[in-house]
Amino acid sequence: MNPDNDPRPWQVESSEYIHQLPWFTVRKDAIRMEGGGVIPDYFILEYPNWVNVVAVTTDKQLVLIRQYRHGIAGVHYELCAGVIDPGEDPLVSAQRELLEETGFGGGEWEPLMTLSANPGTHANLTYSFLATGVQKLKPQHLEITEEITIHVVSPERTMAIIENGEMMQSLHLAPLLKYLLTL
């Protein structure tokens, strides 16, 4: 691998916001590439950064959730996840989301990986954490727009969930599979 031969960042000739809301912002850039190529309408989706948590209980079970996702009109298994509030540390956000969505907390926390939903069109990142030794500390505390069920399952059942296509969220599958590969 020779970094000197790597493609160079594109030059942004102009940039304008097409649509701007807290949960959906679209930016249009006019791009000039080093080799002379021009892309007059390159669209970027700007979302807040996200977090998710591979949560493992003191008895080595995984804390998963299920919720309806309107984009694909289905209910599937997921990791606990959420949006990082402005100025919030990703770890603090992940701990808050796990406690709110599942009532689980405590344990030992470490960064697991950082991902992009689509680096070609998305400007945000997802910070994934591994939390081991978590325990049920309190009841769920869901927002009015959240309908989430909690499922504490074995690593073997988690693999079956993945193999059966019962988890669709790629940003959740990657860190979960990374953890399961270490077992």
Q: Residue 125 to residues 18, 48, 51, 115, 171: CA-CA distances in angstroms?
A: 21, 8, 8, 6, 10
pTM score > 0.85 for this model? yes
pLDDT on residue 1: 57
Percent of the chain with pLDDT over 90: 91
Tokens read off for 4: 């000197």
Q: What domains can be seen in the chain, in order of their start residue?
A: 7-46 (no CATH), 50-181 (3.90.79.10)
Q: What is the pLDDT of residue 2?
A: 62
Q: What is the pLDDT of residue 5?
A: 83
pLDDT (tens digit, 9 = 90+) per residue, 26-43?
999 999 999 999 999 999
Side chain identity, residue 9: P
The per-residue pLDDT for range 76-115, each reduced to its tens digit, is 999 999 999 999 999 999 999 999 999 999 999 999 999 9
Question: How far does Cα 49 stand from its chain's mean position?
Answer: 8
